[in-house]
Amino acid sequence: MSKEAPKQAVQTTGHAWDGDLQEFNNPLPRWWLWGFYATVVFALVYWLLFPAWPVGKTYTKGILNEITYTDAKGQEISTHWNTRSLLAKEMQESRAQQQQYVAQLQDAGYREIRADQKKNEFAYSMAKVLFADNCAACHQGGGAGVIGHYPNLADDAWLWGGTYGQIETTIREGHMGFMPAFEDGLTEQELDDVALYVLAKSGEKVAGEQMQRGAEIFNGETGGCHYCHTKEANGMTSMGSANLTDHIWTIADVPGKSDLASKKDAVKQVIRNGVSRKMPAWKDRLSDIEIRMLTFYVHQLGGGK
Amino acid sequence: MTQETYQARVPIFPRSVKGRFRFLKYAILFLAYGIYFSLPWIPWERSNAPDQIVLFDLVGRHFYIFDLVVYAQDIFWLAGFLVVGALLLFFVTGIAGRVFCGYFCFQTLWTDVFMWIERQVQGERNARIRLAEAPLSPAKAFKFLLTHLLWLCVALATGLTFTLYWGYAPDIVHQLITGTAPFPAYATTLFLTLTTYVMAGLAREQVCTYMCPYARFQGVMFDSDTLVVAYDDKRGEQECGRCKPARGLKDRDERHRKGYGDCIDCGYCVQVCPMGIDIRNGLQYQCTSCALCVDACDTIMDSINYPRGLIRYSSENALSGKPTRIFKLKNIGYGFATVLTIALLVWSITTRSLVEMAVRQIRQPISVTLADGREQNRYEIKINNKTSETVHYRFGLQGLDGAELALDGSTKLEIAPESSVQFVTLVRLSPRDVRESRSRFQFVLQPISEAVAEPESWDAVFYVPANRLTPIQ
């Protein structure tokens, strides 16, 4: 019975200062001590097996810890264990895992992907990342575009055509969007007239007299606008000329202006200075499947054709 | 007195005891073991998961508990369950002390089983003490090895059973034996085997005194009215203290006349204590309220024809002759909070929706102007079918007059059991049809199949930029 007794007593280290100032000693249990020793042993084993100590300009590499992976160039690399290689190895593994889904899309047509719920979901999530990595720098996240610079891909107008085939060609080959500057070709009055005519085409109320003069410039030889934009001002997808009769403005910020005068100025500015835009070709930068997935994504952004 | 910085465990050799509380504890032990070890083996018919009554499918992110299927997004129920558990613990502790520790805690249950094995192999307390002090001999080695071997068997069964909850039990057992089980199955089994062996076999009461956080903070729930296992100091000691029943001190009246208490200092209460404390020193933090000393003392009191209850469940107030108050703000508060959280949890589980839709408006761009002048908003829709049948819906919208719904597919949806679909939908509307920038409307799922009869709707907002709105004349 007395076995338990020492456990209850108040223990001190035996030191006493100023007569009665004593140091308590509440001993740790033995298992705790062994637990602490175990962490020390763990550290020693760790130092042996993993990169650990700096030695001059290098460091201890550890033993028995070779890691092998295939890098982006297809070269097989073997090195001592390190987190950078581990990441490369894990990315290689996840690429292989992703491949089984990609393989299903490899030969699938656009309509087939669209109809199949699972393929649709995978294509969407894969292309969303590709779009953010490659396209969003200009076209913005979600394809919002920037008025005056990069077309909005989320609306239902397609400068170069909105079918799957046309979109794929656009991404693959790139495009040059060009409209000559009319700075020298038209007078200030003529620029005013043709700008008002263009605004009238998309629903603005403009006086008949100015409309008439603008139409003559647009459809006649003075401006020659109809060569590209057609007499109906519908534009042509074969050369990327904009449809001027709809509510969409990709260069002149008409929706951002409140009164007719400033809308006219915005349009005039475009006619005076012309347009020169370039989208690069992606056939050498992206793989075939990546281009096709992007096509699928861009197509459904605005509801597709 | 000097002492080492580290202290070896002082071995405790608890003696066995029979009595009311011992019986109750065995009953709870059988019940708990019965449930724990049999649950993974009870079949329960399921259409698209293994027929197991409780199954935690981590890979498929589905927890199957009887007919309840818990999805990853319902995991807050686990938080609710834990809150209920904590509040119930507080409530019970406030009134009746460490009931959980003494009767229900798995450390207590498993240690009980391990001590039972120890006693079957090595004998009663005195025999075990003698064996421990005896020099090493083949007999001693055999008894020790047998004890540890049996402990390891129980530990292995415990670890294995835990692993079985996370997959289809027969498959896992087969895989474990044939060496084809996934690594986590081996790791879990091994880890729990070792911890069970170490905690219940070697560390025992040290788990409660050094490791368990609850054992340390439960004291704050205690007050003078809390039930504790207590030694009736007044009755046991009287004026002259306890003493052995020597000649002239055997009869109770005789003892009382001479000023001695009812405690005959037999030491049985100390010998049975699994924590190795003497309850007669008053309430101690080591005491788990296992009540074995109550049984021990009652046995002795019965044998010498003294009234029972020298050691009993009592409160500090009751011992000093004051009334014990159960209905006080603290207890009522704990009780109310417990009932409230249980009600909330039950409400949340019983009213769970079997189909869920998440609507996320794509905000970049939030709205675009179309060629014909209408505005277009895009929404990412995710629909989750929580039933175990395939369901068919027609997807549509309501509350937005003149709006057109455009889908890159069919509005007829077929969703496989316990899975989800995700798609993007476009909504087009003329700005002339709305007065405000933000118009509330609902996406609707109209059931086509029988499984879900009610149409379900979810709120969404259609946004039109202010400068595209028709100015109010």
**A64-75: per-residue pLDDT in tens?**
989 999 887 888
pLDDT of A10:
66
Amino acid at B166: W
Indicate the CATH number for domain A138-301: 1.10.760.10
- Whether A1 has a pLDDT exceeding 50, the answer reads no
Tell me which of B272, B301, B319 is where a domain ends. Answer: B319
Residue B291, SS3 per DSSP: coil
Is the minimum CB–CB distance between A94 and chain B shorter than 8 Å?
Answer: no
- The angle at the Cα of A303, spanning A297 to A305, to the nearest 5 degrees, equals 95
Q: In this predicted model, what pLDDT tens digit does every residue of B440-457 receive, in sequence order?
A: 999 999 888 665 567 888
Q: Is the peptide bond before B323 cis (omega within 30 degrees of 0)?
A: no
Instruction: Tell me how crowded residue A178 is: count the other CB atoms within 10 A of its CB.
Output: 14
Structural domain includes residue B302? yes
Q: In this predicted model, what pLDDT tens digit does every residue of B385-402 receive, in sequence order?
A: 888 888 889 999 999 999
Residues B381, B315 share a domain: no
Structural domain includes residue B420? yes
Residue B377, SS3 per DSSP: strand
- Whether A3 has a pLDDT exceeding 60, the answer reads no
What residues of B are in contact with residue A15 (Cβ under 8 Å)? none
pLDDT of B452:
56
Is the minimum CB–CB distance between A183 and chain B shorter than 8 Å?
Answer: no
pLDDT of B197:
97
With beta carbons less than 8 A apart as the criterion, state whether B334 and B433 touch: no
Q: Return residues 261-290 of B near A (CB < 8 Å).
A: 267, 270-271, 276-278, 281
Structural domain includes residue B396? yes
With beta carbons less than 8 A apart as the criterion, state whether B421 and A117 touch: yes
b/e per residue B340-376 (b: at least 16 CB within 10 A): ebbeebeeeeeeeebbbbebeebeebbbbbbbeebbb
Instruction: Return the domain boundaries, chain A.
Output: 2-49, 66-106, 138-301
Q: How far is A157 from chain B (nearest CA, A)?
A: 6
Distance CA A89, CA A71 (A): 8
Can you give the CATH number for the domain in which B367 is found?
Answer: 2.60.40.10
- Tell me which DSSP letter residue B100 carries: I
Residues B297, B366 share a domain: no
Which phi and psi angles does A126 have, rounded to 5°?
-70, -45
Kindly state the percentage of chain A with pLDDT values over 70. 97
Residue in B6, B15, B419 to test binding to A, most A beta-carbons within 10 Å: B6
Distance CA B259, CA B235 (A): 11
What residues of A are in contact with residue B370 (Cβ under 8 Å)? 155-157, 246-248
The mean of the pLDDT values for chain A is: 89
- Tell me which DSSP letter residue B382 carries: E
Q: In this predicted model, what pLDDT tens digit does every residue of A7-19 receive, in sequence order?
A: 446 677 778 888 8
Structural domain includes residue B50? no
Distance CA B193, CA A13 (A): 39
pLDDT of A287:
92
What's the pLDDT band for A2 if we cut at 50, 70, 90?
Answer: very low
Residue in A23, A24, A25 to test binding to B, most B beta-carbons within 10 Å: A25
Nearest to A155 among B7, B369, B422 (CB): B369
Distance CA A7, CA B286 (A): 12
Is the minimum CB–CB distance between B206 and chain A shorter than 8 Å?
Answer: yes
Taking an 8 Å cut-off on Cβ atoms, the answer to whether A27 and B5 are in contact is yes
Residue A280, SS3 per DSSP: coil
Is the minimum CB–CB distance between B371 and chain A shorter than 8 Å?
Answer: yes
Distance CA A105, CA A107 (A): 6
Structural domain includes residue B56? no
pLDDT of B454:
78
Range of the domain at B359: 355-468
Query: Sign of the C-alpha dihedral, residues B448, B451, B453, B454?
Result: negative
Structural domain includes residue B288? yes
Structural domain includes residue B313? yes
Taking an 8 Å cut-off on Cβ atoms, the answer to whether B365 and A154 are in contact is yes
Taking an 8 Å cut-off on Cβ atoms, the answer to whether A142 and B365 are in contact is yes
pLDDT of B451:
57
pLDDT of B353:
85
**Who contacts B206 (Cβ-Cβ below 8 Å, separation ≥6)?**
A29, A31, B9
Q: Return residues 145-174 of A near B (CB < 8 Å).
A: 152, 154-157
Residues B362, B449 share a domain: yes
Regions of chain B where pLDDT drops below 50: 1-2
Q: In this predicted model, what pLDDT tens digit does every residue of A36-52 receive, in sequence order?
A: 999 999 999 999 999 99
Residues B438, B394 share a domain: yes
- The angle at the Cα of A260, spanning A258 to A266, to the nearest 5 degrees, equals 85
Structural domain includes residue B19? no
**Mean pLDDT calculated for residue range A58-85:** 89
Distance CA B376, CA B400 (A): 13
Q: Return residues 167-186 of B near A (CB < 8 Å).
A: none
What residues of A are in contact with residue B4 (Cβ under 8 Å)? 27
Distance CA B442, CA A261 (A): 41
Taking an 8 Å cut-off on Cβ atoms, the answer to whether B371 and A156 are in contact is yes
Distance CA B311, CA B265 (A): 12
What residues of A are in contact with residue B278 (Cβ under 8 Å)? 4
Q: DSSP letters of A234-269?
A: --BTTTTBPPSSSS--SSS--TT--SHHHHHHHHHH
pLDDT of A87:
94
Residues B306, B234 share a domain: yes
pLDDT of A31:
84
Residue B471: exposure state from Cβ atoms within 10 A (0-12, 13-18, ≥19): exposed
The alpha carbon of residue A288 and the mean position of all alpha carbons in its chain are separated, in whole angstroms, by: 18
Residues B393, B293 share a domain: no
Closest CA to B101 of B34, B26, B25, B30: B25
Number of structural domains found in chain B? 2
pLDDT of B60:
86
- Whether A145 has a pLDDT exceeding 50, the answer reads yes
What's the pLDDT band for A4 if we cut at 50, 70, 90?
Answer: very low
